[in-house]
Amino acid sequence: MSSDFPHAMHVDHIRRALWKPQSRAVVMVGAGFSRNADAISSAAPPFPLWWQFTDRLRKALYPTTKPEDTPDVLRMAEEYELATGRTALDDLLLEMIPDAQHQPGPLHELLLSLPWADLFTTNYDTLLERARTKVHEYKYDLVQTPSDVARAERPRIVKLHGSFPSHRPFIFTAEDYRTYPTRFAPYVNMVQQAIMENVFCMIGFSGSDPNFLQWTGWVRDHLGSSAPKIYLCDVLDLTPAKERLYQSMRVIPVDLGPLVPASRWTTAMRYRKSLEWLLLSLHNGRPLDMSSWPARPKHATPSSRAYTAPPALLEPPAIPQLVAGPETPVQTDNLSMEALRRHVQNWRSERLLYPGWVVIPEPNRLRLQLEIGHWLDNPRDQRILPLLKSQPIAERAETLYEFLWRFRRALVPLTQWLAQALHEFLEGVNPKPDLIDLQSLTTRPEIPQGNSDRLTELWVEFAFALINNAWQDRLEDQHVLWLKRLEQVVCLQSAWKARWYHAQCWHYLLRLDEQAVRGVLRKWPENWGLPFWEAKRASVLAELGDAQAALSHAEIALDHVRQGISNVSVNHTILSEEGWIIGLIQTIESATSRHGIEPRQGFQTRINHLRSLRCSPEEDLSYRERELQQKGVEKTKSNTHGFDPGSVSTTHHFSLRASLEHWILIQMFHDGAWPLRCGNIVPALKGMPQAVRRFWEHQPPLAISIGLLSGSAEALKQMLGRVDVSAMDPSMARSIFTWLSGVFLAALEASPVIPQDGESVEGLRARLLHSCPLILSRMTIHLTPDQLEHALTISIKMYRHEACQRNSLTHALISQMFQRTLFAASVDQRYAWLPRLLELPLKGELSFVGNESPDWPEPLLFIPWNTDWRLPIEHERTSWAGGVVHLLRRMKENAPEVRANAALRPARLSKLGGLTDKQGRSFVGALWEQTDGGGFPSHTGFVPSFLVALPFERTPGDNRIAVARYLLALDVANSQHYFSEIDNATACPWHNSEERKAGVEWASNEAESLLSKIQEWWPKQAPLLKASHQKKNFFHQPSILDRLVRHLGVALIPYLRNCAETQKQAVLNLVAEIEDLGQQTLLAQPALLIFDVNRAEDTAQRIQRALHGATDLDVSRGHSALTIWFGLSQSRGIPLPPPYLLDGWIEGVVSRRQPGLLDAVHHLAAFTSRFGELLQEHHLQNLNEGLEFLLLETRPTKVNDTEDEIPLTTEQRIVLRGHASHLAARLSAEQQRRGSAIPPVLEEWRKVGSTDALPEVRRAWAQVAKPIPG
């Protein structure tokens, strides 16, 4: 600053007002400023001064009068108007002011590049408005008439006295000035308000300027002694008398004359140079721009042309001196103490310049992360830890703090060496022995002497860092340890105490422990002196679903934060706190909009302002979400098998690359004040699922926590596919189950039975109730027997809980819990659990589950069963006898729904062999106590065809007669139901004698009756199917034709052996017509051999083509047709299939031929179980060879890395593993039946069957006895 300039303090006062966050400086520009315009040509005259207007008017009006005897210029202007008219006066002004012959000069641009709150001008020329086009930093609206005031936004250029060429009147006469306050009251009011609210500066005016005199006079007239002083800045050449005169006018003269002495400058250059100095000095008042931190701030360059002194400009704000870092980058292998100290000093000087954002904006964070990337990417422990240990305690603490500060600001997790160094320091130093309990340590920590306040601050900061590290790595013991050690010392500062409570809330949120979070909130004392910590409390409340309390708390916090906002300077800490709290309020209001609270709209203007200062977190959140979506995760999808065996769904496949975006996103929420979710609002809706997937790779429990907190259930579902779960470490799966089962039961117990109408939104508890069962049920494949017992208990509690009964969304979850728990359990466990399952209330007995809940689960239907598993023994049947008696009693009651649900359970038990003969007879008797109009048991809960499968009857043949009568009367118009009922009830050709008892074997006349119904139905249906085929609409057609073909080949033709030739021909014609529609009839071809064995070669060729087909469906039909053929050869006496078909089937398995491998192995296991005696020794040897390959290639963790491996997705591999295990078990049983030695590969599969994570792999061996050695 020019210390010898007497008015420097006034200029500094103007520029401080000018550069406030909201500018509080206004300028009025006079005629003298226009003389700084650039002439378009050398012939252009300069802009006139007032004396030149006076001289021109005097010569026109008083050509012979002495100048001193003429009136003033305003009076002469009025006389000129009276003498010549207003138009002539206007023309005189247009003639004398050469506006069109000049263009704005650099000083015009310099003036407009300053942040004036408003700019007023008495000039008629258009220089200022034309200069706007060259200034891009600020947008000035133009006000040319009072009517423009309403639509113009600040900053404005206000043309007070009119504007060339046609915005008139041009204020010039004495009468114009006399009537101006009335005629142009809006302008006068604007100027008066500007003077009252701002620092008012006038440039381009002389002390005798009529405009200056008039405007200052009007201000004094209207505002009197209360009028703030006005700054007049120009070359004034003050004398003491002039200065006193200005002061009497309440004007502070800023005389720029001493800066440009008349002895050195021409008059024109004095004015130009002085204004240049003034405007550049005002520019130098711009605050340092810290938005690019950690880059060093720079002064703005206000003018394109260089300024040449003298005079020296007023100095800009000082740029803090930074300590330079090492000249060369730190080398990996030669880190020295000197280089380390230089780094720390440089980092400290940068840290002191940090603007104070709560969460660093993303562009700045990226630069900071780049700076510390060397310390993130390389293992430093072997080099830096010894250096740290050799430093004195105070220096080591400061060094660690600089590292920690940068890591925390960059939002990245601690590296191992830094966490270790912090831990060692904390346990090696105790700055407050009376407040920090380190007595449990084996070595006594050092107690610093003297003032330990700074060390205490650092010690506390380090301890909080380890607490933050504990939730990231889920180190429960470390979290508890450091919270305990901080418990007393945090009382020294209220901010530490609030941080201590918030750390507990965050930890318990990630543990999904709602009750613990609420317990901490109750203990956390309110402190409105720390409004941002109170906003963090509000975000926790929002996470829990206490929306109204959260909103009220956040609004109070916002009010307290805003009380700290200053108009003098920008405080990024306060402004970023404001930005976070506004976002919090918007989130809560959006979540509660359905509850009668409409989100307010008034925040957007403020958000835009905060965004300009990088104090609004919305843009950073969007950026981080985009990074998560675009980087690090490669996704493909395929339609494959879902989680449960036999289910098919769209499966997503992810591959991860090293990335920290997921850590950064979650740390952003931790450091800010937003919930991961409030009601149905997820601030990071697009990014959170990606973050969950990233966390799953290394921190499955943390991924689950974040997924449940944010409601990213779909992401969890995709990451918890059957492959992922089966490949999990069993101990991890069991640990997750133990944790989540406790969390879920606590949420279930705390859930109100009756939903509460109120202002709360869906919170953590609701998300746990809706999502935990999905995860728990998927963990069942790894659970111990005791944990499976606990899983069943959870299922039963859900079943009995009224809140679950009321909420239809939980019904599917209950089904999943029962289904997956029972599937993973052993046969012994299932029998042991049956008494508890039978005691469960029936659907009709539940008050809150009725006919409107069709998806309410029946647990017994989820008990899997294979016919070769062991039947229950006597004491097991006895254990559930009481439940059976109760069910039979309920069946006899009149309530149809209760009867139907009660009948389902003993029907299922009979299928499992769980009813004694007496119970079975009682069950059948109860069934027949209520019948429909056709004499068939009514309200049974199962389809009528199921009755034939019951092993119990009132009298022999009753069930078969009733079902046959029902089926013969069934209308084929409902073809899907018709085919399903008949096919399910009919004994298949490959059934043995015992199995045939559980099905209907049609007499010839009955089969002919069924054929007649098809013959009547087909002519009506065929045209519809043909039209559908021609339109290539296969959505409906294939399902009907597939069912028809199977019906013919399995349920009908095998019983038409003795029918008339006309009927046989009718069947052949029907099959031909089906083929004409483009439908495969392969499943019916083996049965047609009953009519004509000469079709064998054609049938064999068809099957062979199918076995080598191009689709899975073709190959599957080939397996099924071949199985049907073998069955018919045994039951109907047709010739066996040619050997090459079975050879080809087995060769396809051995070579792992695709497509159709999964189906080939699955069907072959069933074939071996039923027709094992037909397998030759070379078949067995080949299958053993194939099973050796499948043993290795079906491991869930196996990756496709050679061309020889089977081209299957990982999901398909585990399905194939289950099928291969069943095949191996059936082959082992066949070897035992033959008395042969068990091949080693089958023994290996037996071991897999006892240890594999997948229940479907283990259960295959449930009833295969282990051979006795020797």
What pLDDT digit, counting tens, does each position of 215-239 carry?
888 777 777 777 788 999 999 988 9
- Across the chain, mean pLDDT equals 86
Pick the more confident residue, 1035 or 821. 821
Flag the least confident range among 57-61, 92-96, 332-336, 449-453.
332-336
Same-domain pairing of 230 and 152: yes
The answer, yes or no, to whether residue 312 has pLDDT greater than 80, is no
Predicted confidence band of residue 642 (pLDDT cuts 50, 70, 90): low
What pLDDT, on a 0 to 100 scale, did the predictor assign at position 265? 85
Same-domain pairing of 435 and 401: yes
- Residue 1088 resides in a domain: no
What pLDDT, on a 0 to 100 scale, did the predictor assign at position 829? 93
H or E stretch including 1098?
Answer: helix 1096-1107
% of residues, the chain, pLDDT over 70: 90
14 contacts: CB under 8 Å, gap ≥ 6: 25, 199, 201, 231, 233, 282
Flag the least confident range among 271-285, 803-817, 850-864.
850-864
* Chosen domain end from 96, 113, 129: 96
Flag the least confident range among 15-24, 660-669, 688-697, 987-996.
987-996
Q: From residue 967, how far is each of 95, 545, 675, 948, 949 by CA, in Å?
A: 112, 56, 61, 11, 14
Predicted confidence band of residue 67 (pLDDT cuts 50, 70, 90): confident
Same-domain pairing of 1156 and 1241: yes
Number of domains in the chain: 4
The whole-number average pLDDT for the span 655-665 is 69
Predicted confidence band of residue 51 (pLDDT cuts 50, 70, 90): confident
Predicted confidence band of residue 1030 (pLDDT cuts 50, 70, 90): low
Number of neighbouring beta carbons within 10 Å of residue 1084: 26
Same-domain pairing of 197 and 267: yes
pLDDT in tens, 1066-1087: 999 999 999 988 888 999 999 9
What pLDDT, on a 0 to 100 scale, did the predictor assign at position 656? 33
* Chosen domain end from 429, 461, 492: 492
- Residue 956 resides in a domain: no
- Residue 218 resides in a domain: yes
Predicted confidence band of residue 319 (pLDDT cuts 50, 70, 90): low
CA distance 23 to 390: 53
How many CA within 13 A on the CB side of residue 648? 4
What pLDDT, on a 0 to 100 scale, did the predictor assign at position 121? 96
What pLDDT, on a 0 to 100 scale, did the predictor assign at position 653? 37
- Residue 207 resides in a domain: yes
The answer, yes or no, to whether residue 1152 has pLDDT greater than 80, is yes
- Residue 603 resides in a domain: no
Q: Are 37 and 103 in contact (CB under 8 A)?
A: yes
pLDDT in tens, 1207-1225: 788 888 888 999 999 999 9
Same-domain pairing of 127 and 259: yes
Same-domain pairing of 71 and 147: no
What pLDDT, on a 0 to 100 scale, did the predictor assign at position 950? 84
pLDDT in tens, 899-956: 888 888 998 898 888 899 899 999 988 888 888 877 788 888 788 888 888 888 888 8
CA distance 232 to 246: 9
What pLDDT, on a 0 to 100 scale, did the predictor assign at position 486? 96
Same-domain pairing of 354 and 487: yes
Same-domain pairing of 21 and 81: no
Burial zone of 608 (CB within 10 Å; 0-12 exposed, 13-18 middle, 19+ buried) = exposed
CA distance 820 to 720: 14
What pLDDT, on a 0 to 100 scale, did the predictor assign at position 374? 74
Predicted confidence band of residue 726 (pLDDT cuts 50, 70, 90): confident
Nearest to 530 by CA among 576, 498, 572: 498
What pLDDT, on a 0 to 100 scale, did the predictor assign at position 314? 72
Flag the least confident range among 294-308, 368-382, 520-534, 845-859.
294-308
What pLDDT, on a 0 to 100 scale, did the predictor assign at position 451? 73
Q: From residue 1084, how far is each of 570, 972, 1138 by CA, in Å?
A: 85, 19, 18
Same-domain pairing of 21 and 86: no
The answer, yes or no, to whether residue 391 has pLDDT greater than 60, is yes
What pLDDT, on a 0 to 100 scale, did the predictor assign at position 760? 64
Same-domain pairing of 163 and 30: yes
Range of the domain at 412: 336-492
What pLDDT, on a 0 to 100 scale, did the predictor assign at position 1084? 93
pLDDT in tens, 780-817: 999 999 999 999 999 999 999 988 888 888 899 999 99
Predicted confidence band of residue 336 (pLDDT cuts 50, 70, 90): confident
Predicted confidence band of residue 713 (pLDDT cuts 50, 70, 90): confident
Q: Which amino acid is at 165?
A: P
- Residue 1213 resides in a domain: yes
What pLDDT, on a 0 to 100 scale, did the predictor assign at position 1207? 78
- Residue 1236 resides in a domain: yes
Phi then psi for 12, rounded to 5 degrees?
A: -65, -35
pLDDT in tens, 1084-1140: 999 999 999 999 999 999 999 999 999 999 999 999 999 999 999 988 889 999 999
Same-domain pairing of 122 and 211: yes
The whole-number average pLDDT for the span 259-271 is 88
Same-domain pairing of 488 and 393: yes
Pick the more confident residue, 596 or 417. 417
Predicted confidence band of residue 379 (pLDDT cuts 50, 70, 90): low
What pLDDT, on a 0 to 100 scale, did the predictor assign at position 635? 43
The whole-number average pLDDT for the span 375-384 is 63
- Residue 1230 resides in a domain: yes
Q: Are 279 and 313 in contact (CB under 8 A)?
A: no
Predicted confidence band of residue 850 (pLDDT cuts 50, 70, 90): low
In angstroms, the first-to-last Cα distance of the chain is 107
What pLDDT, on a 0 to 100 scale, did the predictor assign at position 1270? 35
